[in-house]
Structure 1
Amino acid sequence: MVFRPTDDATIRPDMPTTNLGTSSTLVADASPVRDFLLRFSVTGVGSCQVTSAKLRLFQVDSSDRGGDFHTTASNWSEAIVTWNNAPAAGPKTIASLGSVSTGKWFEVDLTSVVPGDSIVSLRVSSPSSDGAYYSSKEGANPPQLVLTLGPPASSNSHAPIFIDGNSGFTYANGVRSGSGTASDPYVISNWDIDLCQPGAGCGGSGIFVRNTDANFVIRNVRVRSSGSINTFSYYDADVYLYNVADGRVENSTLSDGRSGITVEGSKYVTLSGNNLSVQPIYMSSGGGGETQVAGPCMSIHSSTSIVVSRNTLSPCVNGMESFGTTGMVVSGNKFVQDGVYGLFLEGYGAASTVGALIEINQFGPGTDRGIEINDGANVTQTTISGNIFSGQGIDLHPPTIADCCPSNTMVYGLAQLSSNTITTDNLVNGKPIYYFEGCSGTSINGIPVGQLIVVNCMNFQASNLQIGGVIEGIVLSNVHGATIINDTLSNISRFGVLAFNSDHVTVTGNNITAGNGIQFYVSSNMLVYHNNFLGGGDFAGGAYQGMDYKGSYDSWDYGYPSGGNFWWNYNATDNCGGPQQEVCTGPDGIGDTPFGLDRYPLMKPYPVQT
């Protein structure tokens, strides 16, 4: 099989914003510095084995150094890539070329980074000031990626594998080949591992690797359970990687265990092309009761430079959870039928998600919340782009309020977002998600919006919007001055408007059909009036329509006689009038008794202004 690049381009730091994607040459040079990028889309391999992958480049100007080759992220296009926006080279040099001469083809062995159907993205540099010039895809002799395929390997049974340290990569532990280098990794492949073992019950991990820094790949492995799981540990997973570097898990089928893949305390790990599923597992909790103990299909904890790409997580109790990560890439995955959430960015500490790229994933159908950002989470320098949500979109989870010890306190604190990018090519139920951060004086009016999230902004206005079918309609975090007016927020499962740590926000003239209506946390000088709270949603039948946690100087009405809001479940009488409702000469359209925080609840829906 021979593939030509879909994209290639030279990039230059002395021309940092100039795109050179149409050039007929690709250049690797140290003076002036020039790197080049290549990307191939490999398809049609299927279940066959890639026995050889060779990159072929045609040299058009001799050099004493042909270049150093690195993998890189695939989120670039030759039409727009420049030095400033190009993805960084991976930390490992996967291959190098020495002296190259004009008019000849040169080959680079890429077998270690082409497992099968995949996107292959490379960045090439040179330490030599005698630059190497190659023909680009626009040139006379375009680059080629040449694959040699073998038949699908037979799968053989193997007991669960436990590897502790580099010395554990042995034939007895399922290693079929390799020496542990980047170009020749240890290969554990084509095994069928049953979590049920004679005399040991059913459970545990299928493959457990810890304390290693040798390069390895787990490929085309199946982990399953021939019986019901009856032994349990929170450290169980079909594949568990702990304190490892330079590992890959690819094209494997992982099911039936407590969790599919867990990566903890590790770096430079790639998880690609796997099929994962986790079903509920119930264990006796005493007294005749049972507890559901199954975890998510994938967990990434306290790890750096983890790539999660082209996996299918379905069905799962929950999709993927992550906390304490730096430089994580989650790209091209399918989160389908995944219970409460697809991707859960947990809290429990400072800087819980730093520098992540979450792109081109499918969330749903059958996945409740696509991305949940937990209370207490700190998400920074993260990009979310090109994702499709057919469920309830992005959940910026409100703080958990303790009901004891002491009461009325936040358990984990508020979620914190900073220096993030969420682009409008994220679609929820076919409409764009709008994310504003660090803005001032911004207004959106009457445009299609799937969800609206506003962070660290001043003097913001949202008017005449129609948002529906999501978990939260409008979310404000650290917003100072805003007006939410004349919006229709319908079929919202939880919060029509949710605000954290904000002030001087006016919410008026809106129709809200949501489980929890409007909720404020640690906010001040908030004004809520002339809204129609119409119930609905998933929580308590929509009974809890207004909440104000540790607010100060907030008002849920506009005084008398203007009044407050209409509440679908307010059932008091209207026989009196006046600021104290003590003049009982007839109705005035305002209930005779307050409703929660609203001193002057309206008896009928307020006509939304147009």
Structure 2
Amino acid sequence: MKSRTATIRNIVVVVAAITLISSSIPFDSYSNPTARNDMMNSSEKPINVYLANVLHGPIIITSNNDFSAQGFLGSGSESSPYLIENYSINTTGTCISISNTDAHFIVRKCLLTGGDDGDGILMDNVMNGEISNNSISQKDRPLHLLLSSNNMIVNNTISENRLQVTLHSSTNNEVLENNISDNSGGLYLLSSPNNLVANNSILAGFGTGIILENSPESTLTKNIISNNQGGIYLHSSSRSIITNNTLSENIGYGIILDDSSEVRLSSNILLNNGFGILGNSVEEWKHDISTDNLVNGKPIGYFWDLHGERIDENPYYLMIFANCTNITVENIVFDRSSITLGFSSNCTLNNNTSLESQGFGISFYYSVDNKVTNNRCNSLSLRYSSNNDLFYNTISGTSYVGVNLRVSSYNRIEGNTISGFEDGLWLYEESTHNHVVNNTISESLMYGANLLYWSNNNTFSDNHIDGVHLHEAHSNDFVNNTFSGGDIAGVDMFGSSNIKILNNNISGNSIGMSLKSSWSNEVVSNTIYGNSGGGVFLNSGTHDNLLCLNVFGNNGDADARDNGNGNQWNSTGIGNYWSDYPGTGAYYIPGDAGAIDYHPHGYTDTEPPIISNPADIEYIEGTLGNSITWSLTEDHPSHYVIYRNGILVDSGDWDSDLINTSIDGLNPGAYYFTIVVFDIYNNWSSDEVIVTVLAAEPTSIPTVTTTSTIPSENDIPHPILVVILIAEIGVVMILLVLLSKQQRGL
């Protein structure tokens, strides 16, 4: 009986609990403005329950009268809205379409799905509607408001749709407490000012969480935006308010303000997401950004109209300087973020580190006469910026471009090391009259340098670059550079003219030079040697180029191939040097053009490489950082070998002016290190360095003072005392024996 009574009691408790829980579900809370305000201020989101127990076909409402005509309950007043509820609609077209109405209505607790050719709910020229507690999935646009105002979108679950929730030319609407996930984007407001977007959860979208485009004076507050392609993006949406939002792990960015002014940003939390400003006028860089906006726990450092300040301490996650002059920022280490200058001049950025920025490590917009020196960053960008000096920076990373100039002219880029990018350097969209001098650009996946779309009149000199590409770029000069290691080509041109390629070393590439649809270029006095796929290729559409005084040899199947028209391979008695020229007659260039070098020369290099003679070295056994460095000079380097006491210990190709080998880890003794360096003509030079390794000093054993336990002569006991002590021990032993026998009964 007790067991049965207990069972009955447990059932009653469970039923009572279920009843209590079900009675607490706020199905209709949003019909009550007071309840809605309470929900806005609550940190707990309501629970969505979709009954949707009535199958229904698509619903089309085109006037106020259609609500009652189609049998929907209500009168259309604010106190008695028409109700469309509990329907399950599965269609490849639009599930619910409402247009040209101002009657009050509610669409709630519906399940809308069925193919992405139509919208979940379309509202066209609609006022006074409420869309609440619905589930919308697998549609084109889950919710689409067009020319609609004073509507509410509340507590819906919106997932796996092709596009995002869209408000177009719609004002004074409220989008509250929705769960939006796994769509191509979250929420898109286009030409839709004065809307409120609050307390939504926007997750795992394939686009941006919230976009405001031409939608000023909107408010975004208390939204959670996570794991989308981007967080919040404003374009031409001035005087908007972004407050108390949480953005985390969005791939591209956290918040971007673009072509917008006087945006108020406060109390937002960004986790592993960045923040940036874009704009084409100084007014579009003026915002109200407080320091309670935190990125990974640190404030955003936004500085407006600051002048003559020096900053060498950094409490900020990132720094943005807008309309500033004569600012110095140096010795700052940034945590995954950046320094941005907008409409600023005569500033100096020196010896800062920003290696893991989510955006550009250092970026300028409409900024002039600034100096960027000795910084370490993962990228550097100039847009609409001129007369800046970028000197001796180390720029390394794995992103798309290392140094990016867009519509930026008269800048000087000198002595930088750029490595690890898809393209090391971009001069893009009319970036002209820039000087690129003595830089090293390496480990590029595509090209070391790219000159694109009317980036004209630039000069490259004394650089070491793993390939350069020109696309519709004109009147650029390349002098005394080394183009080596290009996986596509050392020099690659398309649609380019009046380019001067003078006195460069073009070797060790897949192809030395490739010209496509390019004309009136000069290729003079270059060494084009040792390119595995060929020397110079002139493709069809290439015409009227001059190639002379170049040295060709050891270039794959052909030193040159001309399929163009009217290209000249000699000038006034001066042709090119060909390693396979037999010594008499003209030199015939392979290819459809039937081109001929009428004044060729044979070429054989008999000069060995020039190698330095480092001093002999001594070091102590066990120390680290010991090495030998040889300096070399050679126009046609090939390979090297290093021997230690006659045994090969190192070898490889060389195309730079230094070879370094470690000599750590040797036992005490004398070692003879011999290097032999070869050029491509098999000329060689050698040098020997004697390395003496000294034995390390023996480790001294510390002296430990102890108290002796050996008695001195004065400490030896008196003989009588010794006898007494022995007797006492004997007595004790006898007593122990007797006691043992007594216990055994003996």
Scaled by the length of structure 1, what TM-score is found?
0.57
Q: CA deviation at 1:417?
A: 2.2
1:358 corresponds to? 242
1:383-410 CA deviation, whole Å, 9 max, x = no partner? 1222222233124469xxxxxxxxxxxx
1:417 corresponds to? 284
Partner-residue secondary structure (3-state), 1:118 = helix
The alignment status of 1:475 with 2:325, answered yes or no, reads no
Letter matched to residue 90 of structure 2: D
Structure 1 distance, partners of 2:120, 2:309, is 53
2:39 pairs with one of 118, 122, 131: 118
Q: CA deviation at 1:270?
A: 0.3
Residues 277, 285 of structure 2: 8 Å contact kept: no
Structure 2 distance, partners of 1:487, 1:603, is 28
Distance 1:509 1:259, change over 3 A: same
Unaligned runs of 5+ residues in structure 2 are: 1-20, 96-112, 417-436, 449-462, 466-479, 481-502, 505-609, 613-628, 636-655, 660-746
2:696 corresponds to? none
1:148-190 CA deviation, whole Å, 9 max, x = no partner? x9997843454444444555555749x6546354x66655555
Structure 1 distance, partners of 2:233, 2:397, is 25
Structure 2 distance, partners of 1:184, 1:591, is 91
Structure 2 distance, partners of 1:257, 1:218, is 17
Residues 465, 488 of structure 1: 8 Å contact kept: yes
Partner-residue secondary structure (3-state), 2:149 = strand
1:321 pairs with one of 208, 211, 216: 211
The alignment status of 1:254 with 2:158, answered yes or no, reads yes
Distance 1:510 1:168, change over 3 A: farther
Distance 1:482 1:212, change over 3 A: same
Q: How does 1:66-465 map to 2 (within 5 A)?
A: 111-112=32-33, 114-115=35-36, 118-119=39-40, 154-156=51-53, 157-164=55-62, 166-167=64-65, 172=70, 177=74, 179-181=76-78, 188-189=84-85, 191-196=87-92, 202-213=116-127, 215-225=128-138, 236-279=140-183, 295-318=184-207, 319-338=209-228, 340-346=229-235, 352-373=236-257, 377-396=258-277, 417-465=284-332
2:390 corresponds to? 528
Structure 1 distance, partners of 2:24, 2:49, is 6
Structure 1 distance, partners of 2:160, 2:263, is 32
Letter matched to residue 33 of structure 2: S
Q: CA deviation at 1:50?
A: 6.6
Distance 1:591 1:465, change over 3 A: farther
1:538 corresponds to? 399
Structure 1 distance, partners of 2:252, 2:438, is 33
Letter matched to residue 496 of structure 1: G
Residues 611, 633 of structure 2: 8 Å contact kept: no
Distance 1:507 1:120, change over 3 A: same
Residues 282, 323 of structure 2: 8 Å contact kept: no
The alignment status of 1:506 with 2:389, answered yes or no, reads no
Distance 1:171 1:257, change over 3 A: farther
1:442-497 CA deviation, whole Å, 9 max, x = no partner? 44322232222222222223222222334xx1221111221112211011244211
Structure 2 distance, partners of 1:523, 1:330, is 33
Residues 630, 658 of structure 2: 8 Å contact kept: no
Structure 2 distance, partners of 1:166, 1:361, is 38
The alignment status of 1:554 with 2:554, answered yes or no, reads no
Distance 1:458 1:300, change over 3 A: same
Residues 233, 255 of structure 2: 8 Å contact kept: yes
Partner-residue secondary structure (3-state), 1:556 = strand
Q: CA deviation at 1:429?
A: 2.5
Structure 1 distance, partners of 2:266, 2:22, is 28
Structure 2 distance, partners of 1:557, 1:564, is 6
1:285 corresponds to? none
Structure 2 distance, partners of 1:150, 1:366, is 26
Scaled by the length of structure 2, what TM-score is found?
0.47
Letter matched to residue 344 of structure 1: Y
Distance 1:510 1:201, change over 3 A: closer
Letter matched to residue 284 of structure 2: L
2:557 corresponds to? none
Letter matched to residue 118 of structure 1: M
Of all paired residues, the percent bearing the same amino acid is: 23
Residues 48, 156 of structure 2: 8 Å contact kept: no
The alignment status of 1:519 with 2:519, answered yes or no, reads no
Structure 1 distance, partners of 2:391, 2:199, is 47
Partner-residue secondary structure (3-state), 1:492 = coil
Letter matched to residue 198 of structure 2: S
Partner-residue secondary structure (3-state), 1:417 = helix
Residues 346, 370 of structure 2: 8 Å contact kept: yes
Residues 532, 566 of structure 1: 8 Å contact kept: no
Structure 2 distance, partners of 1:207, 1:453, is 42
Distance 1:441 1:192, change over 3 A: farther
| Number of residue pairs matched by the alignment | 403
Q: CA deviation at 1:321?
A: 1.9
Letter matched to residue 255 of structure 2: I
Residues 353, 379 of structure 1: 8 Å contact kept: yes
Q: CA deviation at 1:430?
A: 2.5
Higher relative contact order (CA closer than 8 Å, sequence separation 6+):
1
Distance 1:115 1:47, change over 3 A: farther
Letter matched to residue 424 of structure 1: T
Distance 1:536 1:200, change over 3 A: closer
Structure 1 distance, partners of 2:299, 2:657, is 34
Q: CA deviation at 1:52?
A: 7.4
Residues 163, 208 of structure 1: 8 Å contact kept: no
1:133 corresponds to? none
Partner-residue secondary structure (3-state), 1:114 = helix
Q: CA deviation at 1:520?
A: 1.0
Letter matched to residue 551 of structure 1: S
Distance 1:491 1:592, change over 3 A: farther
Structure 2 distance, partners of 1:150, 1:501, is 50
Q: CA deviation at 1:311?
A: 0.7
Residues 431, 449 of structure 1: 8 Å contact kept: yes
Structure 2 distance, partners of 1:244, 1:207, is 13
Higher strand share: 1
Distance 1:396 1:585, change over 3 A: farther
Q: CA deviation at 1:300?
A: 0.6
Partner-residue secondary structure (3-state), 2:33 = helix
Distance 1:257 1:416, change over 3 A: farther
Distance 1:492 1:309, change over 3 A: same
Shifted more, 385-394 versus 318-327: the winner is 385-394
Residues 164, 212 of structure 1: 8 Å contact kept: no
